[in-house]
Amino acid sequence: MDQRLYKATIEGNVDSLSDLIQQDPLILDRITNTTSSLETPLHIAIMLGHEQFAIEILNRKPKLAAELDSRRSSPLHLASAKGNVGIVKALLIIDSDMCFACDRDGRNPLHVAAVRGRIEVLKEMLTAKPDAALAVVNRRGGGGESILHLCVEYCQFEALKVVMENVDFGERINSRDGNGNTVLHVAVADNQIETTEYLLSIPTIQVNTPNLNGMTSMDILFQRRREMNIDLHLQESLNRSGAKENNSPRLVHRNIANPRKNAWKKLLNHQDDWLDKKRSALMVVASLIATMAFQVGIAPPVHVWDDCNTVHDIPPRSRPTYYLKVMYNYLKGDARFYIINTTSFIASLSIILLLMSGLPLKNRVFMWMLMVITWIAITAIALTYSVAVLLLTPSTHEKSINVVIGFTVFIWICLMALLLFGHTVRLFVRMVKVFVKMVKLLVKCLTPRRRVSGSVIV
């Protein structure tokens, strides 16, 4: 391409184009004699969105509307992809048959517009050549998709409605792609509820057409087993339309029909990846609990000091000793404070040690042990606080505080027991499954084999 023409095309300068044509009237004619693997100025102008420049080139050289680039894309392909309605109208006036031209992917301009969701462009081409919407994608090693398949595959619901409103597909709406899937198969497989219900409202749609694997749309629904609420909604819509199963496994059907059982099974089989996500946070929590337990153990609450009426009579140097002596006398009658606090301190240190030990913590037994120790540490520090509050509460308010703390501790213990029970059940179920597999393997290894006619029969 002439460098001056290329520069004018990049800039979209219509005046420069006019000057070049006046200087060399054959400058655009030479383009059509070059190899078809190069983009013409019209291709470049459309890709850059220079609408006036592209229309000026079309007025000067209409034959460029039929030229193909290196991907066998026509100017109408590019204008459809860009969604430039003005250029599309100009191209359709010159050569509307280019709606049937296929690029290297086997798609015509209507296919491209549908994939990109260019609604206005799609309407213009459907008005000019509605039959082009009936063409299927034609490419090597596959294809066979209709424009309806492409609309659903690329989640272009509005484009699907525009095509259906402007083209009479008749029985062709049930056409199948290279895998034998109809447009309804694709919509159900992708969980597109709105699209599925729209397709089911069309009288000519066939809900029980099997694909190459012999699966109907209902079979595909049962095979997915994801997002139970959406699947059940689709199942109800398909049932109302008379959809039937063909070869879906009963187990899958049972899982979808009983979401509570399926949810419980998913809970038991949930992957214990929480440690990888919360390892750093758990280390921080354990360190914080150890710090609090250590501090409470060696530095009792200040209320004890404040309650000592004779503290002002003691010399400053002797006050720390007197302070500890008073605190010891105050708490020595109730050893539970130090027992619970020490339990919290040792449990938190154990968590830190386990996290830094390099042991295979992804093992379910170690994982269970770590969770139990964590619960012990948290519960012990909570009980330490409760006991300290009880010991430091004046006798006049002791009864009300006992009621509040007793109720709170009871709720807390119930919650911890529930969590411990749930994880223990999960661990038990896993261990039972492993045990059953080991027994089956042992029985298989110990079962004698006999040879019959050159074959081994177990």
Does residue 416 form part of some domain?
A: yes
290 and 352 Cβ atoms separated by less than 8 Å: yes
Whether this prediction's pTM lies above 0.95 is answered by: no
Does 168 lie in the same domain as 20? yes
Angle at 29 between CA 26 and CA 32, to 5 degrees: 160
Does 189 lie in the same domain as 59? yes
* SS3 per-residue string spanning 81-144: HHCCHHHHHHHHHHCHHHHHCCCCCCCCHHHHHHHHCCHHHHHHHHHHCHHHHHCCCEECCEEC
Domain boundary among 189, 207, 225: 207
Higher pLDDT, 169 or 32: 169
Does 414 lie in the same domain as 308? yes
Does 281 lie in the same domain as 174? no
Does residue 27 form part of some domain?
A: yes
347 and 376 Cβ atoms separated by less than 8 Å: yes
Task: Count the domains in the chain.
Answer: 2
**What string of DSSP letters covers 241-285?**
TT---SS--HHHHHHHH-HHHHHHHHHHT----HHHHHHHHHHHH
Domain boundary among 207, 239, 257: 207
Lowest-confidence pick of 208-212, 283-287, 326-330: 326-330
pLDDT at 418 (0 to 100):
80
* Domain carrying residue 361: 274-421
How many residues make up the chain in this entry?
458
Lowest-confidence pick of 261-270, 350-359, 445-454: 261-270
Does 279 lie in the same domain as 185? no
| CA-based nearest residue to 426, from 261, 270, 263 | 270
| Average confidence (pLDDT) over 311-335 | 56
Does residue 442 form part of some domain?
A: no
Torsion of CA 316, 321, 327, 328, to 10 degrees: -170
Helix 193-200 to helix 157-166 angle, to the nearest 10 degrees?
A: 20
| CA-based nearest residue to 41, from 19, 12, 18, 21 | 12
pLDDT at 358 (0 to 100):
66
pLDDT at 269 (0 to 100):
46
| Average confidence (pLDDT) over 54-59 | 91
pLDDT at 260 (0 to 100):
47
The Cα–Cα gap between 375 and 325 comes to 33
Q: What is the pLDDT of residues 416-440, one digit of tens each?
A: 778 777 767 776 777 777 778 777 7
CB atoms within 10 A of CB 151: 28
